[in-house]
Chains A and B, each alone.
Chain A
Amino acid sequence: MSQDPKNKPVDSTTPSEPPPPSPPAKAAAPPAKKETEAPAFEKGLVSQIISRFGDDKIKVAYIRPLRMKVNVDPLDMVEVATFIRDNLGFDHAESVTGTDYPKDNQIEVIYQLGSYSKDDIAAHILSLTTRTSRDDARLPTLINVYKSAEYHERETFEMLGVYFEGHPRNERFLLPEDWADLPPLRKEFRIRGR
């Protein structure tokens, strides 16, 4: 949530500043280089969430054409996700994954939410993210809001060691049955010889 500016990869971006100099061609071949202005429709979607929960709870990481990313506190995850599903129409989770940031001693878990049922947001992805401490990585599960997140959360558990409270099976999934090492997508897990 509250990220200090020294957080190097990604999330330090303030709402108005899109990091890559030229996000090329979101939808079409000739790229419309929208560099400064956040697109109005996407902004409208995010402002709906903000107006419901308030500025202090919803931290906007970026708003780009077709892509939005917001960061919320773990405690608010279920509530915000329910609001997004019921009021904005993002009806399924395309993927759930995490990124390890050892410098901040945090893991960021990201839910990429998409919509099948509403045509106007069919191309949009709303990334709902939250951060948890690396030492005791625990988050509430969202499978009661997004059933589609079930296997993705299980994968996140074994790959990054994030325990999803309320998830019926925080268990091994893709890794070998006798895996007795660190969660492999944590940065301190090194591939041998590399």
Chain B
Amino acid sequence: MEKNLEHQIDESEKLGMQIVKESEDDRLMTLSVGPQHPGSGHFRFTIKVDGDYVVHCDPDPGYVHRGEEKMCEYRNFIQNIPHLERPVIHDSANITYSYSLAVEELVGIQVPRRGQFIRAIASELDRQIYTLYWLAIYGIFLGHSTMFMWPTGDRELFIDLMDALSGARVTHAFNIPGGVRNDIPDGFKDKCLRHISYFEKRLKEYEDIFYTNPLFIQRTEGVGILTKEDAIGLGVTGSVLRASGVPYDIRKAEPYDVYNEIDFKVQYMKSGDSLARAYVPLLDMKESCHIMRQLLDKMPESGEVRAKLQPTPKGPPGEAYRRVESGRGALGYYIVSDGSPKPYRVKISVGSFRNMIALPHLLVGSKLADMPSVYWSLNYWPVEADR
């Protein structure tokens, strides 16, 4: 072989041709994925492939960076609510939930009990809305278009409920410091229970058509395995963490509002592959139905839903760091107040940003064709990561 090649080179040189030898870099091809949605959301990452294998991956977020944290410093605690939910419009009840908790701690507000229940219900509804949206996208990028249609359709149930609750389909600005914006409408409880019963049946059908589909299993089982040690070391959160065998959920670890009165189990799996990361959100949705039933059941029949606030609430100088469990894992706000009505510094610690570090970790060494199943299994929401 070598000899043959040398002979060829000699022959070529005789003919006046120059042979350029292939260098290591020439073997690699650089691909830019995103940021304009060829299956990545508004997120760009560059990967280098050697043949079929990914050898290098470099995430480059920021395409939808809005400077939310800087914007917070110019508005008072109440004015901040509507723009803070923009990073995840599907899950806006959760992203304002931890903000509310932190502001309440700073200002010193006690939320009425009924208000605590209602905002927990809103956050569970939004978790379903987000997770269904994520599942739809995961389905379509693995080429399963039924799995795009079904969750998108069923998501409307919960959107209707949130619409009835808050008056807006998405971006409700419903969970606010001091409680919720308004009380629940008449007949909400029955409608909610009806939707939950229907949805639980549908979850079973999802399992039958998608999760037990041999094609889906082949593309995800054993792909992109994140070990328990790595998951802890990389500090990932949410379903990615729980799929790697760490039963950690903020609702259980650090119960906020009324979650310590709710009986539920933290759903987790041990295999740490893409299949587990796809399965855990499904289990979460099932458990969330269970939680919502209890919330509706235990909610006081009447009472205040919102604490009285100053027009521009302010507290003494201090700082607070509060977290909730969102659809993408722990969502925390670190707020520093200097005693004025505007926050001095707001840091939004989001699950998507924390899970991003797992992407190069999992992709390097895997096949290019596994990229979509790994990337979308990370439950990554680019807009939230960029803030």
Contact = CB atoms under 8 A, between A and B. Distances in A.
A112 B354 CA distance: 13
Contacts of B145: none
Given A97-B347, A116-B241, A20 B108 contact: yes
Nearest to B248: A116
B354 to A, nearest CB: 7
Interface stretch (B21-29, B288-296, B329-337): B329-337
B270 to A, nearest CB: 15
Contact of A19 (B254, B256, B317, B344): B317
A148 to B, nearest CB: 3
Contact of A9 (B65, B116, B317, B332): B317
Contact of A151 (B67, B116, B319, B357): B357
A92 B116 CA distance: 30
Interface string B260-289: 110000000000000000000000000000
B318 A147 contact: no
A185 to B, nearest CB: 6
**Size bracket of the B interface:** 35 or more
Nearest to B344: A9
Contact of A27 (B255, B316, B336): B255
A95 B349 contact: yes
Interface in B321-363: 321, 323, 330, 332, 334, 336-339, 344-345, 347, 349, 353-354, 356-357
Interface stretch (A38-46, A50-58, A168-176): A168-176
Interface residues of A, number: 52
Contact of A20 (B106, B232, B345): B106
A125 B387 CA distance: 23
A100 B70 CA distance: 12
Contacts of A189: 70
A191 B235 contact: no
Nearest to A159: B69
Nearest to B70: A184
B234 interface: yes
A134 interface: no
A20 B255 contact: no
B384 interface: no
B50 interface: no
B62 interface: yes
A176 B105 contact: no
A122 interface: yes
Contacts of B67: 184, 191
Nearest to A127: B321
Nearest to A13: B318
Contact of B334 (A9, A95, A176): A95
A191 B235 CA distance: 33
Given A9-B336, A21-B316, A93-B235, 20 more contacts: A8-B317, A9-B339, A10-B318, A19-B318, A23-B320, A25-B110, A25-B256, A28-B255, A29-B258, A94-B237, A94-B332, A112-B332, A116-B246, A117-B232, A125-B321, A127-B321, A148-B234, A148-B235, A151-B357, A174-B386
12 contacts: A8-B317, A8-B338, A10-B318, A22-B108, A24-B109, A25-B256, A94-B323, A112-B332, A112-B349, A173-B60, A191-B70, A191-B71
Interface of B: 60-62, 65, 67, 69-71, 74, 104-106, 108-110, 113, 116, 231-235, 237, 241, 246, 248, 253-258, 260-261, 315-321, 323, 330, 332, 334, 336-339, 344-345, 347, 349, 353-354, 356-357, 386-387
Interface of A: 8-10, 13, 19-25, 27-29, 31, 66-67, 69, 91-95, 97, 99-100, 110, 112, 116-117, 122-123, 125, 127, 146-152, 155, 159, 173-176, 184-185, 189, 191, 194
